[in-house]
Amino acid sequence: MTATRYCSLITIGARGRANARTMDAFAPDEKMVVWFGTNPLSRKVAEIRRNPRVTLYYFDRENQAYVTLHGIARLVNDPQEKLRHWKDVWKTFYPDRDRGYLLIEVRPSSLEVVNTKTGIAGKNPAWDPPSVTFGPPKRKRT
């Protein structure tokens, strides 16, 4: 996920069709949460409001590897988060960061990975890739 600059964000449209677009994601954090910046008027924002289930797809051509992350997206308009999740190369896309820039946070529910160069691949007859399922966050005991 960190070897590629871009990934595909896949959402479900109003008519049930999958819509994919290339995104310039932040590297996942220690809990595999991924952040993106977007235009609040974009189609992806409307689709996430209707259905927050999304898929992220990362492809590394040189290593013949991919990661598919399924998760729940949340739209975030908090000024502090917007400062933390900003790339200066985006200035031309978002000249008005206060109103023309919105964050998408994706919390993972599952992840699949294949990397043929390192031997990480599906082995059963169906080629199911190795996967990880993320559980709900643990609650602190008081």
Q: Which class is 6-133 in CATH?
A: mainly beta
**Measuring CA to CA, which residue among 137, 116, 132 is closest to residue 60?**
116
Paired residues of 23 in beta bridges: 7
pTM: 0.90
- pLDDT average, residue stretch 103-114: 97
Binning the chain into helix, strand and coil, the percentages to the nearest 5 are: 15, 40, 45
- pLDDT of res. 98: 87
Return the percentage of the chain with pLDDT > 70, whole number: 95
Closest CA to 25 of 16, 14, 33: 33
Both structure tokens of 54: 């999304």
